[in-house]
Structure 1
């Protein structure tokens, strides 16, 4: 099947159609090159404490020394890292990757059941866990292959006395560390001390070796481990770097990292790409505390920030955000969910900078599409396929559809995963023999190769035979000045098959159901209008703040089952 690539004519100046993704053999090689080039530059900052590239190099060597010299872990073994954004994360990450271990990124908010599944499925031999979540780990370990547990406290790498004060406050004042009993666990700081006695071994890491088992799909069934190789991750770094090259100065970037590093978007874009550029990652441990987040922004001269639509919206709705100094900001990048125009427009008005929207999946390491960095306003699109990436919109039979028509977005490129860990059947459902990934997203592409995501295939609502896309409904309702957040889902209806139900968090407490219905009547055609509206104090969200429509749908189905 021949592929047309109209997008190449619309690339920014200096961006090639293809990059040499074999420039580095591994993620570890990229990291080591940055440590050499930018040794005295700040690399990671958290709670006001900064580690330079040289310090992260030394600490990660010590951690690797402990894992190999004391625990006997070898290339190909899996290690789970269960941490929020703390300085311990990059130290552990790069230490593990330099040994050729496979990192199993683990959401600290997992329940014992979810954690047990991930540990059992991955076959992880070791886990590094924050004290706050060690009680969950304790309940999850039985029946897994985990032989080694390393525990750490929030302030362990912050230095004395600040780190000790933070740890005291977290444990004794805020009571955020539930009691746990892991008698054989080793403290992270002790692991570093013991690791310094062992030289980090030289490991031959091949491009096709697994760098990450990145679990995905937990909200749509049992979570699957996407096998991301060193080639996948290095390719995505090298594909994306020229895209921002004219807007990012090596050794002079400071990026706000509020999305968790265990999430693929933040892991690749913030941690890996900006590390390869010698940038400083300012780690925000708890972005849900918006007032504290804004306070941190006021203390930081930052040049870049990433987020999802809900995070940008949350900042805009936090008092004091408008007084942050945005004079150095030149890159605000969104992904993970649809960027809503209402949020993008407000962001531009407050900061003077547009949000650059991109698109990707865990299965694509993650970046596959991006808007040009020189756009000045919201485009409504996810932009163009990045270098080395092919894309097509296909129908149910797998055939390309004409320009402008909707279908499933399919992607091929060096960033596409190897498959799902130990799940060949699930892999074959989404990945063809010739490397095409079915994304499950409904999209259309214009004549220039610019793509527009319509919605998730699974989230589409069928009202009397008409396709209704929640993204469109939500984007429209978000323009109402009294609405802070909204989710639209399909619920069963005996007359129409399905109808739209809205879940709304109010910005204006006086907003009524009737007023919102009137607004929808003015702005949406009949079959798209919500039949049901429910006001809530909050909406269920994923670890990165993505609204979980699936949970809302499941709630509605349970209510219906209870009635019948």
Structure 2
């Protein structure tokens, strides 16, 4: 079986980071110390630490029986489940990397990702239609031929011990494909350990109950899931389809202490008329990442939802991370916070020259938590890198922003989403913020479309509220609030904005939709 490339670039020790430990080894220790404590919960089913440890052994032993060796890979494409979690963790115990694939991808894309990952086994459920692939399919959700239970070694099976090396690949996360074909982002065990070490300061531990409501294929979910597992807590897995009322009911019942949600989920929760009826006093910390998190929404959460609120800004590729402890900095809710300790974040111009504080440019970052590479895509890897004068490697974010006088980072937009009209740079986020001030707007996204006169011109796609007005009337109102170069060429209403599995607006789809309608 083909090996995944490894790197030692991320393994240097740092004084403020605990020595590396393999998460699979920590799970065994929790099972020995608290075998009857809950480790995983979903829809009335629960798995104790002792049961999870035994299942991880069976998965690891089954992979070794099938000839898998450390740094080989498997792929998973399924809704979140106890079985999904056990396969992921069991593979890690065998030193096998996991490629968790997005369920919302097209069959052709899924097939491409399975092939790219080098997986010889592909774990699926009913969400994945049948299609040709060289990898053997194992069904997680049904009995019979090619089922998970049939594939597993018998109860009590033990794998050969594997000593996990920090530079080995932990997982291959495929980008959401918002800009085209998804790229495989190889994250090492060392990189994932950094997320666990960071979690120490947020109260993860044996008494923590972390609730996840986004897919296990996403790094957004995994940065909450693995710290909870590594520290011996309990992970509550929400329903496959997010429902804000069900989420709150489960959080109240399970006395959730931690959660990770994306902004659109927070928006839906806080919009519930009966939000206040739920007892959420057990919450210690809530996290958010993956998409723009508006200051007004942060303020509402701080006011009405117990516990702290932390926003992470960064990339699945790693590099630089900013952290906003919103509960400690209520005057900085318009920012994404300051660089995390040990993270070097800078701003560069179009010619890749470093810019001083206050200047607007592309954000680049460097830390111990950095991807090894894009899998099988050396050219894409090089395009994602920037090197300073000393030769230090940084990851380019593709985001435009600046540092304020206090060292907090304010984001403007994705570099690719910036509209250049008549030679002027227009930031869609500025226009979106204006649109959201209108009572007739529930949500909005602005994209640049081709213009013979200006090169590009901004168009708004709007989800109207109950107080909707005519599209042209909204455009006239918005243009009265905007600068001359920002003015909208058109407003189009949609029932909802197209989003990825983790809530990112798919602006490429909006551009294509407008172009097709205008043809």
TM-score with structure 2 setting the length: 0.90
CA-to-partner distance for each residue in 1:323-346, whole Å, 9 max, x for gaps?
221222232211101101232233
Q: Identify the residue that residue 186 of structure 1 maps to in structure 2.
A: 146
Q: Identify the residue that residue 7 of structure 2 maps to in structure 1.
A: none
Q: Is the 8 A contact 1:506 1:535 kept in 2?
A: yes
Residue aligned with 2:216, SS:
coil
Pair 1:321–1:428, CA change in 2 (3 A): same
Take 1:522 and 1:32, find their aligned partners in 2: how far apart are those partners? 63
The reply to whether residue 153 of structure 1 matches residue 141 of structure 2 is yes
Q: Identify the residue that residue 261 of structure 1 maps to in structure 2.
A: 216
Pair 1:512–1:304, CA change in 2 (3 A): farther
Residue aligned with 2:474, SS:
helix
Shift of 1:139: 0.9
More helix by share: 1
Shift of 1:116: 0.9
Q: Is the 8 A contact 1:505 1:539 kept in 2?
A: yes
Take 2:429 and 2:34, find their aligned partners in 1: how far apart are those partners? 42
Q: Identify the residue that residue 427 of structure 2 maps to in structure 1.
A: 469
The reply to whether residue 51 of structure 1 matches residue 5 of structure 2 is no
The equivalent position to 2:280 in structure 1, one of 326, 330, 336, is 326
Q: Identify the residue that residue 172 of structure 2 maps to in structure 1.
A: 213
Q: Identify the residue that residue 10 of structure 2 maps to in structure 1.
A: none
Pair 1:318–1:188, CA change in 2 (3 A): farther
Shift of 1:36: 4.3
CA-to-partner distance for each residue in 1:358-417, whole Å, 9 max, x for gaps?
1111101x8722113642536211112223221111122322211111111111111111
Take 1:367 and 1:81, find their aligned partners in 2: how far apart are those partners? 28
The reply to whether residue 106 of structure 1 matches residue 101 of structure 2 is yes
Q: Is the 8 A contact 2:302 2:327 kept in 1?
A: no
Pair 1:214–1:510, CA change in 2 (3 A): closer
Q: Identify the residue that residue 322 of structure 2 maps to in structure 1.
A: 369
Larger mean CA deviation between 250-259 and 508-517 belongs to: 508-517
Shift of 1:460: 0.4
Q: How does 1:370-519 map to 2 (within 5 A)?
A: 370-372=323-325, 374-375=327-328, 377=330, 379-431=333-385, 432=387, 434-508=392-466, 510-517=468-475, 519=477
Q: How does 1:160-175 map to 2 (within 5 A)?
A: none
Shift of 1:31: 3.5
Shift of 1:444: 0.6
CA-to-partner distance for each residue in 1:306-325, whole Å, 9 max, x for gaps?
11111111222344333221
Pair 1:33–1:467, CA change in 2 (3 A): farther
Q: Identify the residue that residue 139 of structure 1 maps to in structure 2.
A: 131
CA-to-partner distance for each residue in 1:159-198, whole Å, 9 max, x for gaps?
xxxxxxxxxxxxxxxxxxxxxxxx9x52122334x34353
The equivalent position to 1:308 in structure 2, one of 262, 265, 268, is 262
Shift of 1:255: 2.1
Take 1:373 and 1:36, find their aligned partners in 2: how far apart are those partners? 37
Structure 1 alignment gaps of length 5 or more:
1-16, 157-182
Q: How does 1:320-359 map to 2 (within 5 A)?
A: 320-351=274-305, 355-359=309-313
Take 1:471 and 1:66, find their aligned partners in 2: how far apart are those partners? 50
The reply to whether residue 90 of structure 1 matches residue 85 of structure 2 is yes
Take 1:354 and 1:249, find their aligned partners in 2: how far apart are those partners? 13
Q: Is the 8 A contact 1:505 1:536 kept in 2?
A: yes
CA-to-partner distance for each residue in 1:435-493, whole Å, 9 max, x for gaps?
21111111211243321221111010112222111222223322333322211111122
Shift of 1:34: 4.1
Shift of 1:283: 0.8
The equivalent position to 1:122 in structure 2, one of 103, 117, 123, is 117
Take 2:104 and 2:48, find their aligned partners in 1: how far apart are those partners? 29
TM-score with structure 1 setting the length: 0.83
Residue aligned with 1:485, SS:
strand
Take 1:117 and 1:189, find their aligned partners in 2: how far apart are those partners? 27
Take 2:34 and 2:274, find their aligned partners in 1: how far apart are those partners? 34
CA-to-partner distance for each residue in 1:27-80, whole Å, 9 max, x for gaps?
3234434444554432221102222222211111112122222x2222222100
Take 2:252 and 2:474, find their aligned partners in 1: how far apart are those partners? 36
Higher RCO structure, 1 or 2 (CA under 8 Å, sep 6+):
1
The equivalent position to 2:28 in structure 1, one of 9, 32, 35, is 32
Q: What RMSD in Å do the two structures reach over aligned CA positions?
A: 2.5
Pair 1:484–1:195, CA change in 2 (3 A): farther
Q: Is the 8 A contact 2:256 2:283 kept in 1?
A: yes
Take 1:328 and 1:444, find their aligned partners in 2: how far apart are those partners? 36
The equivalent position to 2:498 in structure 1, one of 521, 524, 540, is 540
Shift of 1:90: 1.6
Take 2:88 and 2:227, find their aligned partners in 1: how far apart are those partners? 14
The reply to whether residue 67 of structure 1 matches residue 93 of structure 2 is no
Take 1:420 and 1:72, find their aligned partners in 2: how far apart are those partners? 26
Residue aligned with 2:116, SS:
helix
Shift of 1:23: 1.1
